[in-house]
């Protein structure tokens, strides 16, 4: 439960679409900031600002290699968020599965109507 504050922060951090994009890019592997700037197509100061937020909440790790700073994803703080949202997601998935059955019936009866109209 000592994680509570971090969780809230990580949660806020991923609420920002550009930061989610950065996390997506880093999920594929470690990247220097220049590559992130190039792939995102936004100004470096903005990317650096987002990276700072992500580092503060522990979602991104950084290490120096030569003159480069390499960033990589540290996804662990996201797990409680996934767990939390996932249960909500599953409750909707059940509803939608039941809607699938309703829709199958509606399609069936529409098909029936079509063929009788032909």
Partner 1 sequence: MATSTKAEVSLPSDTEILITREFDAPRHLVYRAWTTPELITRWWAGDHGEVTSVEVDLRVGGAWRYVMTATGGFEVGFHGEYREIVTNERIVSTTVFEGMPGESSVSTLMLAEAGGRTTLQLLTQHTSKQNRDMEINSGMESGMQSSWAMLEQVAASLG
Which residues are at the interface with partner 1 (CB under 8 A)? 11-12, 14-15, 17, 79, 82-104, 106-107, 110
DSSP 54-89: HHHTTSEEEEEETTEEEEEE--GGGHHHHHHHHHHH
- Residue 62 CB, nearest approach to partner 1 (Å): 23
Return the number of the residue (35 or 61) whose C-beta is nearest partner 1.
61
Instruction: Name which of 74, 80, 65, 67 is nearest 4 in CA terms.
Output: 80
- Residue 51 CB, nearest approach to partner 1 (Å): 21
Return the number of the residue (56 or 110) whose C-beta is nearest partner 1.
110
Contact in structure between 36 and 25 (CB atoms under 8 Å) = yes
Return the number of the residue (34 or 84) whose C-beta is nearest partner 1.
84
Sheet holding 31-32, edge to edge: 31-32, 68-73, 60-65
- Residue 67 CB, nearest approach to partner 1 (Å): 34
- Residue 34 CB, nearest approach to partner 1 (Å): 29
């Amino acid at each position: 439960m000592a994680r509570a504050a971090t969780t809230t922060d990580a949660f806020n951090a991923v609420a920002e679409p550009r930061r989610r994009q950065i996390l997506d890019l880093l999920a594929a592997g470690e990247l220097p900031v220049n590559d992130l700037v190039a792939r995102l197509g936004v100004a470096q100061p903005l990317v650096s600002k987002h990276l700072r937020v992500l580092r503060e909440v522990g979602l991104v790790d950084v290490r120096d290699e030569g003159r480069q700073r390499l960033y990589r994803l540290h996804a662990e703080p996201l797990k409680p968020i996934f767990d939390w949202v996932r249960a909500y997601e599953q409750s909707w998935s059940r509803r939608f599965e039941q809607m699938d059955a309703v829709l199958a019936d509606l399609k069936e009866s529409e098909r029936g109507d079509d063929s009788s109209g032909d």
